[in-house]
Amino acid sequence: MNLSKSHKKVAVIERQQAVGGGCVHWGTIPSKALRHSVSRLIEYKANPLYRFTEKPQRHTFQDILNHASAVISKQSNLRSSFYERNRIHLYQGDASFIDKHTIKVQHIDGSQDVLTARTIVIATGSRPYRPPSVDFSHPRIYDSDTILSLQHNPQRVLIYGAGVIGCEYASIFKGLGAKVDLINTRDRLLAFMDAEISDALSYHFWNSGIVIRHNEDFAKVETRDDGVILHLKSGKRVKADCILFANGRTGNTDGLNLEAIGLQADGRGQLKVNENYQTSVKNVYAVGDVIGYPSLASAAFDQGRIAADAIAHGECAAKLIIDIPAGIYTIPEMSSVGKTEQQLTAAKIPYEVGRAQFKHLARAQITGTEVGSLKLLFHAETKELLGVHCFGERASEIVHIGQAIMEQKGPGNNIEYFVNTTFNYPTMAEAYRVAALNGLNRLCD
C-alpha cells in the first residue's frame, strides 16, 4: 500500500486462497482470539455472580475456535479491501524466481503467469520447524499451524518447546481444563524477558497445575492409536493424548528458486538484509519473519513501510525503533519494552525500581483481574525511564503508556511524568502513578 501511494505499480502474489498470510490464518490472530475466549471463560467460572446460578460450562477446543474463525475472516476481508482500494494487482499461486527481475507464478489449475518487475520484495513469512524424525502426518501430532484443525477434545496435552507459542498454547489448553505438560529445552521460561516477570509466569503455571520440565530434549516420539509417548534424552517418558511441537520456525524460502538470482538463505531459511531491508541482490528486498528477528507482525508492518520508502525514494530516514515492545499472550499476559534488570546490572547502569501490584488497584478489584504487577526501571540520577515490564491482564496494552514516555527525547523521558499527570480513576493505567511513587521513594537523598 505504501508503494502504491508512492505512485508505483504493484502486484502481490499470494499462494493461499485468502490474503493475510500466517499472521492472520495460523499464527497471531487465531491464537490470540483463542486466548481471549479462554480467558473470558476463566473469568466467567471465577465470577461469584454465576457460580451458584449456572451449571458449570465445559467448552471444547472447537467451540472456542468458532470465534477465531470469524475474526480471521474479518481480518482477511479487510486486507483484501485495502488491495482493491489501492489498485494493487493480486495473483493467486506459488511464486519462484526465473531471474532477478522475473517471477513465475504457478496457479492451482496448472496454468502459469510470468511477471517482470524492477523491484521484488520477499515477504513469504515462516512456518513451524518440523524435526525430520517426527511423523507429522499422524493424527495425534501437531505443530502451531495444524493445531487449529484439532477435532477431538484432549484431556492431556504435551507441548514440546516452551517459547512464546508453547507458553501461549499451554495457557489455552489449561484454561479449557486439560492437563498440560510443557517441555522446555532451556533452564527457565522465556529467558529473554525480565527474570521477575518470567518467574511470575512460571509460578502461575505451576500454581494452575501445568507441569514444566526444564533442560529436556526429545529422543523420539512413540505414536499409538489412543495417544503419544514422548521419550526424552534424560530417560523420562511422558504420555499424552496429543503433542504440539512448538520448537522454532523456518523461513519460507525453499520453494523460491533463490539460486536463480544468486541469493542464499541460512540454515533456518532466513535471508540477510541491510537497514533498508535490501538483500545482497540490489533490487530484491525482504521483510517479516523471512529475515528472522524480531519475527513480530507489529515489526513486519514497519519493515514493509520502511522498505517501501527506500524503494520509492532511494532512501528512508525512518528506521525500526530499537526498543520493540514484546507482547506474550499467555493467561495472564506478559509484556515489556526496554532494558531488563539483568541487562542494566551487567552494563553497570545505576537504576532504581518502582512497582505497582494490580491487587491494590480499584479497577483490577472491580474486574477481578488482581493477578499481576507493573515494574518500572529508571535511571537513579536522571530519572530516565529505561524499561517497563508488566505481568497481568491487558499487559500488552498497558506497556504502551510507558513506551510513549521512553521514546521522548531529552528531559521528556522522566519517570516524574507519571506523578505529575492525572490518570482516570479507576483504571489500570493508574499503576504507572503507583509504581512511579514507589520507585521515587526508594531514591537516596
Annotated binding residues, written as ranges, equal: 32, 124-126, 161-168, 248, 289
Q: Are 165 and 215 in contact (CB under 8 A)?
A: no
For cell 542464499, the residue is 264
Q: Provide the annotated binding site for FAD.
A: 32, 124-126, 289
Amino acid at position 281, single letter: V
Helices (H), 47-114: 48-51, 61-85
Q: Provide the annotated binding site for NAD(+).
A: 161-168, 248
Q: Are 166 and 144 in contact (CB under 8 A)?
A: no
End-to-end CA distance of the chain: 54
Q: Is 365 helix (H, G, I), strand (E, B) or coil?
A: helix
Q: Phi/psi at 234 (nearest 5 deg)? A: -75, -5
CB-based burial of residue 9 (10 Å sphere; 0-12 exposed, 13-18 middle, 19+ buried)?
A: exposed
Task: Name the helix (H) or strand (E) containing 229.
Answer: strand 227-232
The β-bridge relationship of strands 326-328 and 102-106 is unpaired
Task: Name the helix (H) or strand (E) containing 105.
Answer: strand 102-106
CA dihedral for 33, 39, 41, 43, sign (positive or negative): negative
| Alpha-carbon span 257 to 50, nearest angstrom | 58
